[in-house]
Amino acid sequence: MKLNTIDLHSHSTYSDGTLTPEELLCAARKIGLQALALTDHDTVAGIPDFLQAAVRYPEVAAIPGVEISTLCSGRELHIIGLFLDHENPGLLDFLNDLQLKRRRRNERLAEKLAALGYAADLEAVSKQAKGKIIGRPHFAEHLLKNYDFANAREVFDKLLKRDAPAYVGRPLPFPEAAIEVIRRAGGIAVWAHPIYRRSKERSWCRRILRRLVPAGLDAIEAYYPQFDESQTRIIRELAAEFGIALAGGSDYHGAHQPDISLGTGYGELRVPAEILPELQRRRGDKIREN
Ligand code: AMP
Ligand code: MN
Ligand code: MN
Ligand code: MN
């Protein structure tokens, strides 16, 4: 089956997804995706596995990526890197620092949960993670298994989300720093899920783009499970206004977000393969610039 569809945003067991990189590629082939990007949070440790497995799935173009959480004007903003060199020393240093801060956050989170009466020993929490990235979804999974919660969302709402009693923040870099490190590693920088909570935020997006496009932002996610047609249209218009490319993907996390499917999101998502050449062209331009 050929859908002429791609997915440029997915998570594996190397961060907070539940499929391995190879299982992701296998699933991508099954549904006929032409390209898949692996974009684990704060790590490229899954990329060697991903690229090795990709040899067995030649129908799917495997794009190495990463997703970096940043802080921008008081809000969390996620920058995805695509087509990057996962062995670039500057990138690895940058990610190592984020991982250290994440580990410290996790220790404090475990303590806070303990104080609230929830045992969440880090070793037990990390059980299903393949790599060093332990995130709140792993805590949610552990608490769901051992305490009386209906689903992971409820654990987030009652304990883990921002302003909930067990929440612990971590220091985040500025988006400009993430963009620079991605570009120096030969990648292109994408603003992930630019609109939140189903609201239309054209003016906020415009303000952020005025800051990030001069800093080197290459693209913006116009296709995302939570976006309706009007939101996708707004993003497409803003991309045209600022002269940046379109990207998009399902943000698939496997069983951690069971209502989201690879490639199709809630069922309606379709990221057209036609956006890929422009992203590749921008990457090619940059390689010539360097
Ligand atoms: P962390 O990077 O460890 O702080 O965890 C953030 C991750 O938790 C995100 O990448 C999502 O996968 C997940 N997440 C964040 N907020 C929620 C929420 N309200 N419900 C379910 N999952 C969430
Ligand atoms: Mn996640
Ligand atoms: Mn994100
Ligand atoms: Mn993501």
- For the segment 227-236, what is each residue's pLDDT rounded down to a tens digit? 999 899 999 9
Please give the distance, rounded to the nearest whole angstrom, from the Cα atom of residue 41 to the centre of ligand 4.
7
**Is residue 137 within 6 Å of ligand 1 at its C-beta?**
yes
For the residues 59-70, what does the mean pLDDT come to? 98
Distance CA 143, CA 44 (A): 27
Three-state DSSP class for residue 118: coil
Please give the distance, rounded to the nearest whole angstrom, from the Cα atom of residue 149 to the centre of ligand 3.
24
| Mutational test site, ligand 1, from 12, 16, 108, 157, max ligand atoms within 8 Å of CB | 16
Tell whether pTM > 0.75.
yes
The residue behind tokens 């299903």 is: 128
H or E stretch covering 221: strand 219-223
- Could you tell me the end-to-end alpha-carbon distance of the chain, in angstroms, rounded to an integer? 39
Sorted by sequence, the CB contacts under 8 Å of residue 222 that are 6+ apart come out as 232, 235, 236, 239, 246, 247, 248
| Mutational test site, ligand 1, from 43, 102, 136, max ligand atoms within 8 Å of CB | 136
- For the segment 138-197, what is each residue's pLDDT rounded down to a tens digit? 999 999 999 999 999 999 999 999 999 999 999 999 999 999 999 999 999 999 999 876
Please give the distance, rounded to the nearest whole angstrom, from the Cα atom of residue 272 to the centre of ligand 1.
26
For the residues 203-210, what does the mean pLDDT come to? 94
Q: How confident is the model at residue 285 (pLDDT cuts 50, 70, 90)?
A: confident
Give the pLDDT of residue 171.
96
Contact 136, 156 (CB under 8 A): yes
Give the pLDDT of residue 264.
98
**Is residue 17 within 6 Å of ligand 1 at its C-beta?**
no
* Amino acid at the residue 20: T
**Is residue 11 within 6 Å of ligand 1 at its C-beta?**
no
> Of all residues in the chain, what percent carry a pLDDT higher than 90?
89
Q: How confident is the model at residue 2 (pLDDT cuts 50, 70, 90)?
A: low
* Torsion-angle region of 83 (φ positive above 0: left; ψ -120 to 50: alpha; else: beta): left
Structural domains in the chain? 6-87+175-289 (3.20.20.140), 96-160 (no CATH)
Q: Whose CA is nearest to atom 18 of ligand 1?
A: 156
Distance CA 18, CA 255 (A): 6
